[in-house]
């Protein structure tokens, strides 16, 4: 249990990267929005999802 506690503390960041990033990338592609600076949509999704997950971890909630 002591091994899982530090890993689970970063759960919101993992969720943001593993679930929100691909979802955001797919939404960008479906809407036909081009990413800034010629980045692939998944890079933008990783930035948004990772940032949102980090904010959720530090703030303690998603909204």
Kindly list the domain boundaries of the chain, sorted by start residue: 4-59
Give the Cα separation of 51 and 11 in Å (integer): 13
- pLDDT the model gives residue 50: 95
CB 12 within 8 A of CB 51: no
Q: What is the pLDDT of residues 24-52, one digit of tens each?
A: 999 999 999 998 899 999 999 999 999 99
Is residue 4 pLDDT above 90, yes or no? Answer: no
Strand, helix or coil for residue 2 = coil
- In the chain, pLDDT over 90 holds for what percent of residues? 73
């Amino acid at each position: 249990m002591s091994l899982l506690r530090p890993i689970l503390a970063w759960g919101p960041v993992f969720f943001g990267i593993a679930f929100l990033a691909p979802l955001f990338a797919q939404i960008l592609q479906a809407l036909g929005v081009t990413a800034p600076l010629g980045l692939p949509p998944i890079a933008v999704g990783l930035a948004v999802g990772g940032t949102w997950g980090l904010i959720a971890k530090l703030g303690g909630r998603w909204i």
